[in-house]
Structure 1
Amino acid sequence: MITPAFELTQDPDFLTIVIKVPYARASEFDVYFEGEDFKFYAKPYFLRLTLPGKVVEDGREKASYDTDKGTFTICLAKEIPGQYFEGLDMLTSLLAPKKSRSAKPLVEEIAASAELYEEEEDDFDWEIEQTPYQESAENTLPLQYRYGFGNLRSGVFQRLQDELSDVVDIKDPDQTPVGERRRKRLAAEAAKFQPDHYLADFFEDEAIQHLLKYKPWWVDAHKKVIALQGASQQEHGTLVFSEEEREQLRKFTNKSYLLDKRSRHRVYLGLIDILLAYCYEIRVNEGDKNVESSWNVRKLSATLCWLESFTSIHDVLVSFGRRVLCYPLYRHFGLVTRALSDTVMILQIGKAAVLKCLLDIHKIFMESDPAYILNDLFITDYCIWIQKTKSKKLAALSESLQKTTLAKSHIGLELEELEAAAVLVQEEESALKAAGTVSKQQLPSSESETSNSEESSSTSSSETEGSDSDERESSTSEDGKINSLQGTLQEERTAPLTDCNGLRPGTNTSTFEVSDEKSKLSLQSTSVPGKLIEELEKQMHTAIRLSEQPEGLATASCVLQEQEENLVSEPDRFSKDTAGRGNFLEVSSKANPLLFLCSTNEDDD
């Protein structure tokens, strides 16, 4: 049999049931109703409802069939005119069978026939091997801790460890008690908290302020409920479920939950935790869904992510606040308080609004792999359970939530201290910027003084260079004639060169300013043969070509100074006879022509 789609509406005197049965024969259908029971059959469709109020058969009932839409419309008279039937949108609850009123036990033994007992006795082996009785230890069976909706599940993670490892943060929850889960959760949140991220969202909050102004769908619904507080209950049905949501409700299998007082209390607290995470997700994405929606809901809810069991509303708010400031993209305390006010609105609207939120969460998890497992652990049971919850319970829960306060000091992450320190740093930076602005205003006068000192220093340096050039000109005039090689070297001398010790070329002891007279004196003192002189002239031309590059001159100057230091450090080598000095000059000039210049200068000195 197929359960058809259906919808219930009411007015003060009648209850209307619309049943969609396409391709059914209108001439072959049966309707039965009495008190709270309603049954409809039109092959292959079958519908059985347990109504929230009683209806009667008094001749005013009527039915019609729309062939174009394929729908049956049945109107039934209420037993008590003007009575309001609550929960007509809770389709899963309406599909539940009527509760048994008998005292018959839920589990009973079905007796077998005497023949079966006799056959069992005949087949029994009396010679079966026996073993002595041993009392089993208490820890033979591993102790498994419970979790899920109302803490009714256990052993799930042992069977689905691979799938659930990416959904929840707690490892091995079957062997982890509730207190240990809480300690591990707090440690993980403290390690994840990033002060820089929090302060960035605290000071640069333009995007967050935009999100805080967003109005989700429950804001308008809450305004309507507040406006209709003095009206009759029949006018409070402001929320309408979509066809997709109705289809979700029809697919749920009705269940009964045996919960004690403590378990019911924890179920309500878990509902608050899940709604807070859902309100944050809707606000930061402005009502749109994305690939991060599933992650946001389950990560911000400690009930879903750590299988937490809360004992007070304040603990729920503290946990949600810590997780908002540690994990998502926007980590602002204003989003925590706004999610709190949104949850209060949803609870004040009623269980229809709560059910719409739970159905949306169920859809988000169904479209996310492997988060759909959380539907089996929590959300599906919440969707079924909330339909049977009394509206007075949710109203009392909203009042308690509204009275509970949450401050930054309750979070336990030193938020106020961080903000005070950041404000102090900002004030110091502002003071430094102000001082820098004043110094920049005084800068022109100091720049003028600096420029004057630079001009005076440049003038003195030019005078010094002028006196040096005069002295060089006088020394060259005394020598007489200057050959072409000396003229080329004199032109290269004007380039801004520095040696390896940072000295200017004018201060170096080895220079390229060599006159003919000095060359002759140095050659005579060493008694070098004529062939060597010709070879040295060729090497000198090579040195001149190398000196045309500034980098080459600087390198040559460094080599000259190193060779001078070597010559000074080895004075015994110059105490040899004339032939020995000649050989030294010949070898050194072939290796490096600049070494010859250095050695001749030393001999001249």
Structure 2
Amino acid sequence: MITPAFELSQDPDFLTIVIKVPYARVSEFDVYFEGEEFKFYAKPYFLRLTLPGRVVEDGREKASYDTDKGTFTIQLPKEIPGQYFEGLDMLTSLLAPKKSRSAKPLVEEIAASADLSEEEEEEFDWEIEQTPYNEIAESSLPPEYCYGFGNLRSGVFQRLQDELSDVIDIKDPDQTPVDERRRQRLAAEAAKFDPDHYLADFFEDEAIQHVLKYKPWWIDAHKKMIALQRESHQEHDTQTLVVFSEEEREQMRKFTNKSYLLDKRSRHRVYLGLIDILLAYCYEICVNEGDKNVESSWNIRKLSATLCWLESFTSIHDVLVSFGRRVLCYPLHRHFGLVTRAFNDTVMILQLGKAAVLKCLLDIHKIFRENDPAYILNDLFITDYCIWIQKTKSKKLAALSDSLQKATLAKSHIGFELEELEAAAVLVQEEENVLKAAGTVSEQQLPSSESETSDSEESSSTSSSETEGSDSDEQESSTSEDGKINSLQGTLQEERTAPLTDCNGLRQGTNTSATEVSDEKSRAALPSTSVPGKLIEELGKQMQTAIRLSEQPEGLATANCILKEQEENCVSEPGRCSKDSTEKGNFLEVSSKRSSLLFLCGRDEDKD
């Protein structure tokens, strides 16, 4: 028989069941319902449901068939009008189990088997393969430790360790107790933590701040739920807020409905494992902004110690600390803000109820199903969680969300000295900023001092021009003996006015520069004495100095040497530095500075 696709909905008076039966023999179908039991048969489809509320046959029931869509629509009156049936979207839990169970499963199993007729009993397979029995002493058997959903599995990895080494990090989980798993996990996390990676994400968090702005579907659903609760001041069913896709419904129909006999401690650990898995899933959805990639399976199982280390937690705080440590050790983005974001998202999902939790678990089931060899985690955990959550009471999840919301997680709880690392990094950054600021200030002062120097040189050249203008009148009133000097000065002036720079303003040669400097010094020295013989002698000395210094590569150094030599001559010949020639000496100094400036700037004195 084939289990058909079906959906359930309700209004205050009726429960509506829509059953999809394409290619069925609609001329022969049978519907039976009484109390919480519902049966439907139309060859080759068969459906048996355990309804979440009681229905009654009172003549108001209706049934119709849509030939185009191939669907049966059956309306069943509620026994108590206005009663709300909870969990109509939990399709796996609605499917009637193969055998009914109660608080005393052994008694029920014996009674159920006694009621079976001989035709329903399976024949014994006499051709079953047999192997010789080897008796082994019980004391020689190694102890096997449990894991998986509710710690109900053992011995799985004993045969598949080589194939599943990429799925879990623990080696030989069947022989490793819970305490030893935890010790090995903490040691592996401490060795994996990278302070440089953490500080890089702490300071350069543009990409992280971008993904933190992403809003998954449960944020809008949670806002709508809060708004509805404020309007009516009562809790609303989240069936209208959480919508399952057809693929998700099909997956729920494929699950086998079964019950789980868990003691109080096992149930507590199952709830804590659920929080751990949801935290890892919320991180994956946030960093990839809802898209799936080849790393999605790795992110979820690596960040969940329940999946990766087969951890069994005992408190919510331990779950949060474990998740925070693994976020800061393994994935690409290692930021504490992502830990907080996953924490808040998990609280929202739990507040939305088991429909939202089931939708997330179905998505995880799909991710693992499409990844090899992560599919084994579905058999160990996710499939059982998908079936178990459908039968969980909403009050239990509400209490779990409240407990999680009251829990706190600080950076000091992680154990990696995050606050000390951040404080040291901030201190280093502040020192670097101070050094950079000091370097910027010095760079700004350097061009300003250069501009002041150039301004002073320009003012000096202006004053020298004025001095030359005033001294020209004295030169015009000189004696006839000075005519010879003027003639010599004109010859030197022609040599001085020769071009010194090319089209790019670069110097053509050091010899020309030396000639210009020596000519400037000679012309400036002419008015410094009234005796023609001494003047000619002085000019000769200046020409010899220029020839001797022309081999120097820098024109400015040549000019400085000439000035120094003039000062030495002035000391050796005090008569030249008398009070009457003070003004002429000033002219010599100013004129020399002007010549050096003209040489450095590549200017022509006539143009200035």
SS at match of 1:157: helix
Q: Which amino acid aligns with 1:68?
A: D
Q: Percent identity?
A: 85
Matches within 5 A, 1:98-497: 99-100=100-101, 105-106=107-108, 108=110, 136=137, 138=139, 140-229=140-229, 230=232, 236-238=238-240, 239-443=242-446
Contact 1:18 1:73 in 2 (8 A): yes
How far, CA to CA, are the matches of 1:137 and 1:96 in structure 2?
Answer: 40
Q: Which amino acid aligns with 2:299?
A: N
How far, CA to CA, are the matches of 2:236 and 2:54 in structure 1?
Answer: 17
How far, CA to CA, are the matches of 1:270 and 1:423 in structure 2?
Answer: 37
* Cα shift at 1:433: 1.1
How far, CA to CA, are the matches of 1:91 and 1:26 in structure 2?
Answer: 24
Q: Which amino acid aligns with 1:237?
A: Q
SS at match of 2:184: helix
Q: Which amino acid aligns with 1:217?
A: W
Cα distance change on mapping 1:100 and 1:169 into 2, 3 Å: closer
How far, CA to CA, are the matches of 1:38 and 1:14 in structure 2?
Answer: 14
How far, CA to CA, are the matches of 1:102 and 1:272 in structure 2?
Answer: 28
SS at match of 1:273: helix
Partner of 2:492: none
How far, CA to CA, are the matches of 2:277 and 2:6 in structure 1?
Answer: 29
SS at match of 1:162: coil
* Cα shift at 1:253: 0.7
How far, CA to CA, are the matches of 2:378 and 2:191 in structure 1?
Answer: 29
Partner of 1:58: 58
How far, CA to CA, are the matches of 1:432 and 1:405 in structure 2?
Answer: 40
Q: Deviations over 1:230-254 (max 9, x none)?
A: 3666654221211100000000011
Contact 2:198 2:334 in 1 (8 A): yes
SS at match of 1:311: coil
* Cα shift at 1:27: 1.3
SS at match of 1:228: helix
Matches within 5 A, 1:584-595: none
Partner of 1:519: none
How far, CA to CA, are the matches of 2:345 and 2:412 in structure 1?
Answer: 22
Partner of 2:91: 91
Partner of 1:79: 79
Contact 1:84 1:234 in 2 (8 A): no
The answer to whether structure 1 residue 30 and structure 2 residue 30 are counterparts is yes
SS at match of 1:163: coil
The answer to whether structure 1 residue 7 and structure 2 residue 7 are counterparts is yes
Partner of 2:588: none
* Cα shift at 1:224: 1.3
Q: Which amino acid aligns with 2:297?
A: S
How far, CA to CA, are the matches of 1:384 and 1:20 in structure 2?
Answer: 23
Contact 2:277 2:300 in 1 (8 A): yes
How far, CA to CA, are the matches of 2:70 and 2:137 in structure 1?
Answer: 65
Contact 1:8 1:15 in 2 (8 A): yes
How far, CA to CA, are the matches of 1:53 and 1:320 in structure 2?
Answer: 40
Q: Deviations over 1:537-592 (max 9, x none)?
A: xxxxxxxxxxxxxxxxxxxxxxxxxxxxxxxxxxxxxxxxxxxxxxxxxxxxxxxx
Partner of 1:563: none
How far, CA to CA, are the matches of 2:453 and 2:156 in structure 1?
Answer: 81
Cα distance change on mapping 1:37 and 1:84 into 2, 3 Å: same
- 5+ long unaligned stretches in structure 1: 112-133, 452-457, 464-493, 497-605
* Cα shift at 1:436: 1.5
Contact 1:228 1:236 in 2 (8 A): no
Q: Deviations over 1:339-389 (max 9, x none)?
A: 100000000000000000000000000011110110000000000000000
Cα distance change on mapping 1:252 and 1:439 into 2, 3 Å: same
For normalisation by structure 2, the TM-score amounts to: 0.68
SS at match of 2:154: coil
Q: Deviations over 1:141-185 (max 9, x none)?
A: 110111000000000001211221110111110011111111111
Partner of 2:571: none
Cα distance change on mapping 1:63 and 1:433 into 2, 3 Å: same
Q: Which amino acid aligns with 2:60?
A: R
Cα distance change on mapping 1:283 and 1:102 into 2, 3 Å: closer
SS at match of 2:399: helix
Contact 1:192 1:326 in 2 (8 A): yes
How far, CA to CA, are the matches of 1:99 and 1:137 in structure 2?
Answer: 35
Q: Which amino acid aligns with 2:100?
A: K
How far, CA to CA, are the matches of 2:136 and 2:291 in structure 1?
Answer: 61
SS at match of 1:105: helix
* Cα shift at 1:439: 2.7
How far, CA to CA, are the matches of 2:107 and 2:138 in structure 1?
Answer: 33
* Cα shift at 1:206: 1.1
Bigger mean CA offset, 191-200 vs 401-410: 191-200
Q: What is the Cα-based RMSD across aligned positions, in Å? A: 2.8
How far, CA to CA, are the matches of 2:249 and 2:427 in structure 1?
Answer: 56
SS at match of 1:433: helix
- 5+ long unaligned stretches in structure 2: 115-134, 455-509, 516-550, 554-608
Contact 1:35 1:55 in 2 (8 A): yes
* Cα shift at 1:211: 1.1
Contact 2:167 2:308 in 1 (8 A): yes
* Cα shift at 1:105: 1.7
Contact 1:2 1:45 in 2 (8 A): yes
* Cα shift at 1:225: 1.2
Contact 2:365 2:383 in 1 (8 A): yes
Cα distance change on mapping 1:231 and 1:437 into 2, 3 Å: closer
How far, CA to CA, are the matches of 1:400 and 1:379 in structure 2?
Answer: 23
How far, CA to CA, are the matches of 1:318 and 1:5 in structure 2?
Answer: 43
Contact 2:145 2:177 in 1 (8 A): yes
* Cα shift at 1:5: 0.2
SS at match of 1:24: coil
